[in-house]
Amino acid sequence: MFFQVCSAGSRLLIQESVFDDIVARIKVRMSHLRLGDCLDKTVDMGTLVDESQRRSVDEMVQSARAEGAQVLRCFLFITSAKQDM
């Protein structure tokens, strides 16, 4: 059985005076983000649990865009055949 933990908030409230600096730092961090197998200790972020979670994330992104958010980095959703465990 696999589990997923998400410690990310859905919103960041950033003081205007430091906004540009924070966004720049987030861009740098995201450019080095390692995606992959959640059991690999060298990976920063594992996969989403299932299709419903992928849809949920996509809905949050679309909602943020509709509210004026700018997408800093976009990841492709890659699906593969399910493996028997």
Nearest to 37 by CA among 29, 28, 46: 46
Q: Give this prediction's pTM.
A: 0.60
Average pLDDT of the chain, as a whole number: 79
Q: Please give the pLDDT value at position 8.
A: 62
Q: Residue 3 pLDDT > 80, yes or no?
A: no
Buried b (16+ CB within 10 A) or exposed e, 16-26: eeeeeeeeeee
Sign of CA dihedral 19, 21, 8, 57: positive
pLDDT in tens, 30-65: 888 888 888 899 998 888 878 888 888 889 889 988
27, 72 contact by CB (below 8 A): yes
